[in-house]
């Protein structure tokens, strides 16, 4: 993987058509399953929410220090459900869901089979 691929430039799809109001959605352009992940940063000292940006591929506050207490330490927090307040602070990452998830379903089915098998043995 080269850097332009990592940042989603070049030929790779940027999944711009994925609606941001749904958690998981197939990209209409490339067909990948995309999960919208929202992140905010907070001051780790006073807990103040920061406006969050992505710099050099890292989630971080827009300003270098907390405007409330002056601390430079921050925490990155994932938000399950975006709302009209947090959307002003949050940053959105469109993450491609690994197709290997299908294999989890497979192993779950196998487990069920095993359970059925055990039930048969018990009878
Ligand atoms: Zn796409
Ligand atoms: Zn603070």
Handedness of CA 43, 48, 51, 52 (dihedral sign): positive
Cα-to-centroid distance, 55 and ligand 2 (Å): 20
pLDDT in the model for residue 89: 96
71, 65 Cβ separation under 8 angstroms: yes
pLDDT band of 12, cuts 50, 70, 90: confident
* Domain limits for position 60: 3-122
As for how many domains the chain has, the answer is 1
Say yes or no to pLDDT of 43 above 90. yes
Q: Which residues surround ligand 1, an ion (CB under 5 A)?
A: 13, 15, 27, 29-30
Q: Is 92 helix (H, G, I), strand (E, B) or coil?
A: strand
Ligand nearest to the CA of residue 95, numbered in listed order: 1
Say yes or no to pLDDT of 112 above 80. no
Cα-to-centroid distance, 86 and ligand 2 (Å): 17
Cα-to-centroid distance, 76 and ligand 1 (Å): 26
Distance CA 113, CA 73 (A): 50
Distance CA 78, CA 58 (A): 14
80, 46 Cβ separation under 8 angstroms: no
Distance CA 63, CA 69 (A): 13
């Amino acid at each position: 993987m080269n850097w332009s691929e990592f940042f989603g430039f070049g030929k790779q799809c940027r999944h711009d058509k994925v609606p941001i109001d749904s958690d998981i959605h197939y990209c209409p352009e490339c067909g990948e399953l995309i999960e919208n992940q929202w992140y905010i940063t907070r001051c780790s000292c006073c807990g103040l929410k920061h406006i969050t940006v992505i710099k050099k591929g890292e989630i971080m506050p827009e300003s270098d220090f907390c405007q409330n207490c002056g601390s430079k330490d921050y925490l990155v927090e994932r938000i399950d459900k975006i709302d009209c307040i947090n959307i002003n602070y949050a940053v959105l990452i469109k993450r491609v869901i690994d197709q290997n998830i299908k294999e989890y379903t497979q192993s779950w089915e196998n487990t069920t089979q095993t359970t059925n098998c055990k039930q048969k043995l018990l009878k």
